[in-house]
Structure 1
Amino acid sequence: MSDHIKEKGKASRARLLAAATSEFARRGYHDVRISDIVSIAGLTQPAFYLYFSSKEAIFLEITEIFHSRVKELIDNSLLDSEREMEEIFENIKTKLKIFFGFLATEPDLTRIGLFIDPNRTQIKAEMILMIQRNLVKEQRAGYFRDDLDMEFVAECLVSMIEQLTETRLLPGLSNVDRLATQVVDLMLRGMIKE
C-alpha cells in the first residue's frame, strides 16, 4: 500500500472521529446515526465500516481518547518533591491550568467524557483514585498536612473540576487561569480571612 493511500486513510479516519465527536457531544449517543457521521465527514457508509465496526466502536474509541488524555494529565500532575514550598501554590495552579486547558480546548471530547459516556461514574472514580495516589505521595513528601484524608480531598477536587467545567468553563463564563487560581486558592488557603 502506498504512503499516499495510507495518509488518505488516516485522514478519512480522523474526519470520521471528528464528525462523530462533534455529533455525540451535540446530540448525545442515542440520537446520532452512522449516516449523520458520514454525511458530516463527507464520506460514505462503506468508508465508515473500513475503520469502525459500529457506532458503539467509534464512540468507545472517542471515550478512550478522553480517558487516556486525562490519565496522562493526572500522571504528569505529581508535584516534584525537589521544589521549594513557597512555589507550591504556583506549581499546583500551573498543573490545574494544564488540566482545565485540555478540557477547554477539547469541549466536545470533554462533554462526551464527563457528561455523556455511560461509564462516566467509573471514570470519575478512577480519576479520584489516581489523584488520591498523587496527593498521598505529596503528603508523604511534606507538601500537605498529615491529618488530611486524601481520598476526600481528591473527591472534592474532581467534583469541583466537573461542576466548574460544566457551569463555567464550557459556557465561557470563566477562563482557564481564573478557574485554576480560584480552585487552588480555595483548596490551599481556605475561606477564612487572615
Structure 2
Amino acid sequence: MIKLKYKCMKCGKCCFEIPGNSGTKRIPLYPEEVIMMIQIAKERDLNFMVMEDLVFPDLINHKILVLTYRIILDKENQCCPFYEKEIGCSIHDIKPLACQSYPLSLQQLDAFRFEISIDPLCKFVKNYYDDLKKSKPEILKKIFSMEYPKAEIFFRKNKKIQFEIRKLEAENKIQIPREINLQSYNKYLKEWEREELIV
C-alpha cells in the first residue's frame, strides 16, 4: 500500500448538504462552540444561524435541555456560511470539533472495541477508498494523525454528556422520559424554556 497522509482537498463535501437528501448534512455544535461562531459571524457580517439539534425534556424542571445545535445551511448554496470556494473552511484553525475530526467518527461496538467510520463522500477518501478500506485501525490513526485525536475528543465529550445526564438523574435533579408521545413532546418544545447542558 502506498504511504498515505490525509490532507483536506477543500472540496467542501463536509460543508454542503448532500444532494437529494434534504437535511442530511448535520454539523453538530456544542453550545460553547455556537457562542464563538456567533461572535466570528458578527465580526465578518455573515448570516449565521443555528437550530436545536439534540434536546431532551426535563420533567422535573419543565425545561428543554439543549445538548447540541446544528448549523442552518446557507439557503442559496446549501452550505455552511463559513465555507469559501477559494479556501474551503474560513475558520479552519478554530472550527467546531465535529469538523476537526472529519472525515472520521468513532463508534463503540462493545465495552472494549471501537470502530473508525470514514465518510465516503470526502474527496480524499474517494480517491483512496480501496486502500483505506483495507487499512487496520493503527494505520488509519497514522493516515488521519490530526483528525483521529479530535475524533477521540469528540467521542469522549459525547460520553461525558451522557454521564452528566445520568448523574443528574441519579441525583433527582432532572428526569428524562424514556418514552414520550409526540403530542406531549411537541407541547414541551413549544412551551418550555431552554437550558443548555455544557460539560
Shared fold by TM > 0.5? Answer: no
TM-score, length of structure 1 as denominator length:
0.26
Q: Which has the higher helix share?
A: 1
Q: Which has the larger radius of gyration?
A: 1
TM-score, length of structure 2 as denominator length:
0.25
Higher RCO (Cα < 8 Å, 6 or more apart): 2
